[in-house]
Amino acid sequence: MSNDAATATALGTAPGAHPAGPDGPAEPEPAYGIGASLAPADTRAKTEGTYPYAADLWAEGLLWAAVLRSPHAHARIRSIDTSAAVEMPGVRAVITHADVPGCSTHGRRITDRPVFAHDVVRHHGEPIAAIAADHPDTARLAAAAIAVEYELLEPVTDPEKAFGAAPLHPDGNLVRHIPLRYGDPDATGEVVVEGLYRIGRQDPAPIGAEAGLAVPRPDGGVEIYTASTDPHSDRDQAAACFGLEPERVRIVVTGVPGATGDREDAGFHLPLGLLALRTGCPVKLAATREESFLGHSHRHPTLLRYRHHADAEGRLVKVEAQILMDTGAYADASSESLAAAVAFACGPYVVPHAFVEGWAVRTNNPPSGHVRGEGAMQVCAAYEGQMDKLAAKLGLDPAELRMRNVLATGDLLPTGQTVTCPAPVAELLRAVRDFELPALPKDTPEDEWLLPGGLEGAGEPGAIRRGVGYALGMVHMLGAEGTDEVSTATVKVHDGAATVICAAVETGQGFTTLARQVVQEVLGIEDVRVAPVDTDQPPAGPTTHGRHTWVSAGAVERAAKMVRTQLLQPMAHKLGMSTELLQVADGKITSYDGAFSTTVAEAMAGKELWATAQCRPHPTEPLDEAGQGDAFVGLAFCAIRAVVDVDIELGAVRVVELAVAQDVGRVLNPRQLAARIEAGVTQGLGAALTENLRTAGGLLRHPDLTGYALPTSLDAPDIRIVKLVEERDVVAPFGAKAASAVPVVTSPAAVAAAVRSATGRPVNRLPIRPQAAVAAPNS
């Protein structure tokens, strides 16, 4: 079933989201529990500036850390002389690769990344040494005093040349190759279009740069306070490098000032822990913005070649593609990103025959890793560009061409996996296609027009062309290819108040709010808190792919239901009925026949109940040698219509409106959901128009927020959530789907399609450069 204006109107309370629909006013929201727009518990602390981020932490006897990073993209290290730094007053420790007592390399998936470079430098900004001193300026001066003798090597910066280049790593330059084979290789269509697409390097650009505090423990271990998004994995990597048992390393998660994947690099807090162990003192490290850009991973730059075959009616016959992902110096999440790119290379369309070659290769460029919608975003821009080319060649409306090919539940992906989850792609596309277009500014005085380039821009109204474009996107939820997805949660109730203990990290996606709502819904208790996260708690896994909406909230629900049974069993026994005949709602416990009723508060008085539960979705399997396999637990879909104004003389673009229809399964928190969709759309807008972390010879050209152009509130268009499809996925707790990634994937492709519509240009590169937005001749 669908929820149009009813949900959309409630969502409209979020700033910038303006849903619309024909169904009339929304039903009143509940005060708490599932379906309520419950505000985050940390809102007041964040707005007042009292929320405990790692950069704000302090400890008695604190030392300050600094990291020496390579100024080169590729070089052999001939020698490292730390004597000048060691002799500086105030310096307490200087460490290099020789001071790592355990494993000298780390990696969440493949352990190929050195804690400190020692024989060769493979990317700009790679750590070489770390210093602890009594003042941050002293630490930075000591880092600058370390003399490193380099033999410069020619960097490999073109991923196409990585295949024939000398190995950059003992494992070689090829991280993964996936050849997907599906259907008849000899199948052809009556109409064929080809395209070459390039996707730039997007940085997660968190609002707060990395910071951490490491405190040595009396048992010889260490506690690290940092904004980790997967504390147990970080603990295990740290323990291996420190040469300690995992139980002697504790990760305490502080406030996370933004995370879309960049917080996954353990290389930041490893030097911090080593310095604390060496000095026996607390050590703090707060990265500059430049160090943040140099240190964390980015979205994979990708080169894509496509050939689409269709019949005379516009129905797809075959898709051929080559996908080359630049993983940078180390593997990180490249294997998983490539799998998503290859599996979704055809998009949410029915394709009888598909042949895709995917490669992820090492270069001397900055490392690439997990960024929201990885893999899926890059291919979406390419396959939607192909759909626009097909529509133009066939003389069809772009939305109509897409409608003739959309995927539905029961169809097969090119990986051979059957789509068993709800896939309302046609319904989403119809919603944005039929939504009223924004009015043209023809009746507005010219001096009030919002021209591309801003109010002070040099453009002329007569050079403005409006374009409308469509895009359909898809992402997978949870881990893929055999990842064991499991989360553990404990719910405790004492004197009518509940506490949730779960190591699922709140990164702004709203898990702590959702956990409170789940317990409120199941137990009828309004007073619910979520305990801070550390590695003394059972693992909950990483904060990626909407995992915590599914597995962690699912574990919380199961634990809460077990507590509910403990509460109701004595009552049911007295009444001579089963617990299923007692209902908990609106703070009351009532029997099925209404003969018995009491408040939850009365029933809980003086009781202390608790339960621990796990949630583990059904298993998946790796893609085989032909790219086939049931690799994904679930899928989510989105349709976006973009309306843009383009100055066809200057190439300036202004996004007027983005109309969004999304497959959400079930709305759990209307206001929070709207905020996540709006944030995802805006992140995708940056990838479409402004965000490209450029390099020259492997060196970052502008590692700062002046040169790296993030979209601001002045760039944000009118975002209209026109439809949310609530068709529940029966295998997901609550039936809900993750909401943040799929609008990131879809909005860049929609903006590119709208610019094509306005200019007649192919627009095959993201972000869109001004020269690509100048109108084609005779357009």
Q: What is the mean pLDDT of residues 720-749?
A: 92
Identify the band that residue 3 occupies on the pLDDT scale cut at 50, 70 and 90.
very low
Higher pLDDT, 47 or 396: 396
> Does residue 167 belong to any structural domain of this protein?
no
**Residue 180 near residue 345, CB atoms below 8 Å:** yes
3-state secondary structure of 350: coil
Count the helices and strands in the chain (H runs, E runs). 17, 31
Domain boundary among 568, 593, 615: 615
DSSP class of residue 90 equals T
> Is residue 100 scored above 80 in pLDDT?
yes
Token pair in block for residue 307: 């050939």
- Axis-axis angle for helices 741-759, 670-689 (nearest 10): 50
pLDDT at 122: 97
Question: Cα–Cα distance between 401 and 15 in angstroms, integer?
Answer: 34
Q: Do 466 and 505 belong together in one domain?
A: no
Query: What proportion of the chain, given as a percentage, has pLDDT over 70?
Result: 94
Token pair in block for residue 546: 């909407």
pLDDT at 167: 97
Token pair in block for residue 333: 């999440």
pLDDT at 457: 62
Domain with residue 143: its CATH number is: 3.90.1170.50
pLDDT at 252: 95
Higher pLDDT, 444 or 246: 246
- Which stretch, 201-205, 321-325, 517-521, 736-740, has highest mean pLDDT? 321-325
pLDDT at 644: 96
Ramachandran quadrant class, 566 (left: phi over 0; alpha: psi -120 to 50; beta: rest): alpha
**Residue 726 near residue 7, CB atoms below 8 Å:** yes
H-only helix segments in 243-283? 269-279
> Is residue 236 scored above 60 in pLDDT?
yes
- Mean residue pLDDT of the chain comes to 91
Host H or E run for residue 601: helix 600-604
Map tokens 């005379």 to a residue: 312
pLDDT at 20: 39
**Residue 531 near residue 501, CB atoms below 8 Å:** yes
Compute CA distances 174 → 324, 327, 574, whole Å: 11, 9, 67
Q: What is the mean pLDDT of residues 184-201?
A: 97
Question: Cα–Cα distance between 560 and 519 in angstroms, integer?
Answer: 6
Token pair in block for residue 162: 């990585």
DSSP class of residue 3 equals B
What is the tally of structural domains in the chain? 3
Question: Cα–Cα distance between 139 and 294 in angstroms, integer?
Answer: 18
> Is residue 707 scored above 90 in pLDDT?
no
Token pair in block for residue 640: 């976006």
Identify the band that residue 179 occupies on the pLDDT scale cut at 50, 70 and 90.
very high
Sign of CA dihedral 757, 388, 545, 356: negative
Q: Do 601 and 491 belong together in one domain?
A: yes
> Does residue 20 belong to any structural domain of this protein?
no
Token pair in block for residue 296: 């964390």
Q: Do 290 and 338 belong together in one domain?
A: no
Question: Cα–Cα distance between 451 and 653 in angstroms, integer?
Answer: 9
Map tokens 């240009």 to a residue: 761
Compute CA distances 739 → 41, 372, 634, 670, whole Å: 21, 11, 13, 12
Pairing of strands 765-766, 634-647: unpaired
> Does residue 58 belong to any structural domain of this protein?
yes
Token pair in block for residue 623: 């893609």
Token pair in block for residue 156: 């490999």
Q: Do 71 and 119 belong together in one domain?
A: yes
Domain with residue 387: its CATH number is: 3.30.365.10
Q: Do 675 and 601 belong together in one domain?
A: no
Higher pLDDT, 19 or 669: 669
Q: Do 655 and 549 belong together in one domain?
A: no
pLDDT per residue as tens digits for the range 442-480:
767 766 667 787 655 667 778 889 999 999 999 999 888
Domain boundary among 581, 615, 649: 615
Q: Do 675 and 575 belong together in one domain?
A: no
pLDDT at 64: 97
pLDDT at 207: 84
Q: HSE, CB side, 13 Å, CA atoms: give it for residue 669.
A: 28
pLDDT at 266: 75
> Is residue 314 scored above 60 in pLDDT?
yes
Identify the band that residue 661 occupies on the pLDDT scale cut at 50, 70 and 90.
very high
Q: Do 353 and 379 belong together in one domain?
A: yes
pLDDT per residue as tens digits for the range 547-606:
898 899 999 999 999 999 999 998 888 888 888 888 888 788 998 888 888 888 888 888
Q: Do 642 and 727 belong together in one domain?
A: yes
Sign of CA dihedral 586, 590, 595, 601: negative
Q: What is the mean pLDDT of residues 279-306?
A: 95
Domain boundary among 615, 649, 665: 615
pLDDT at 1: 40
> Does residue 202 belong to any structural domain of this protein?
no
Map tokens 């110096």 to a residue: 329
pLDDT at 26: 56
Q: Do 368 and 225 belong together in one domain?
A: no
> Does residue 581 belong to any structural domain of this protein?
yes
Map tokens 């979020």 to a residue: 14
Question: Cα–Cα distance between 533 and 547 in angstroms, integer?
Answer: 16
Q: Do 307 and 350 belong together in one domain?
A: yes
Q: Do 520 and 602 belong together in one domain?
A: yes
pLDDT at 413: 97
> Does residue 3 belong to any structural domain of this protein?
no
> Does residue 754 belong to any structural domain of this protein?
yes
**Residue 752: burial class (beta carbons within 10 Å; 0-12, 13-18, 19+):** buried
**Residue 112 near residue 329, CB atoms below 8 Å:** no
> Does residue 1 belong to any structural domain of this protein?
no
Domain containing residue 553: 487-615
Q: Which of 2-11, 357-366, 714-723 has the lowest mean pLDDT?
A: 2-11
